[in-house]
Amino acid sequence: MGAIRVGIIMGSQSDWPTIREAAEILDTLGIEYEAKIVSAHRTPDRLWDYGKAAVERGLHVIIAGAGGAAHLPGMMASKTRIPVIGVPVQTKALSGVDSLYSIVQMPKGYPVATMAIGAAGAANAGLMAAGILALHDADLAARLDTWRHDLSASIPQEPRDA
């Protein structure tokens, strides 16, 4: 078991079914991670403590998922220079457009790499984290290349009737 380099945080337990998609990608690629509930609104002190300690704890990437007034990724980006990948969780009220707008429109100086709304965005957050780590990890780079090749090879040339 290596050091944990990816932190996955989410605003609520209710985000986990979506954000788990990122975790599953990391599992598939053999990347260690931790997963925590850290809410910008309900547990602001937990958010602050997590961001403050992230560098010294050795994290390299943070995946932050939240829905609605989704301030978690942006607030985390304000607290640490570690790259933050934001995942807008799909909401019942506004289908996740609220989450997307809350995460994507950061002011100059504090970027959040914002993914698509929902499960695809969460999976892509896992892949984006893997790509960042693979820059300095040749074994992981090879596993990621294989994963990408396998996905490409699984796509049929022609459609078939259901």
Torsion angle, alpha carbons of 102, 16, 53, 130, to 10: -90
Q: Are 37 and 66 in contact (CB under 8 A)?
A: no
Residue 53 Cβ vs ligand RP5, minimum distance, rounded to whole Å: 21
Residue with tokens 């998922």: 65
Q: Which is nearer to ligand RP5, 51 or 68 (CB)?
A: 68
Torsion angle, alpha carbons of 127, 117, 20, 60, to 10: 40
Residue 128 Cβ vs ligand RP5, minimum distance, rounded to whole Å: 19
Instruction: Judge whether 15 is annotated as a binding position.
Output: yes
Cβ neighbourhood burial of 80 (10 Å; 0-12, 13-18, 19+): middle
Q: Which is nearer to ligand RP5, 9 or 129 (CB)?
A: 9
Residue 89 Cβ vs ligand RP5, minimum distance, rounded to whole Å: 5
Q: Which is nearer to ligand RP5, 6 or 40 (CB)?
A: 40
Instruction: Judge whether 49 is annotated as a binding position.
Output: no
Residue 15 Cβ vs ligand RP5, minimum distance, rounded to whole Å: 5
CB nearest ligand RP5: which residue? 11
* Helical (H) or strand (E) element with 87: strand 84-89
Q: Are 64 and 9 in contact (CB under 8 A)?
A: yes
Q: Specify the DSSP class assigned to residue 25.
A: H
Q: Which is nearer to ligand RP5, 15 or 60 (CB)?
A: 15
Write out the residues near ligand RP5 by the rule CB under 6 A: 11-12, 14-15, 39, 41, 66-68, 89
Q: Which residues are annotated as a binding site for substrate?
A: 12, 15, 42
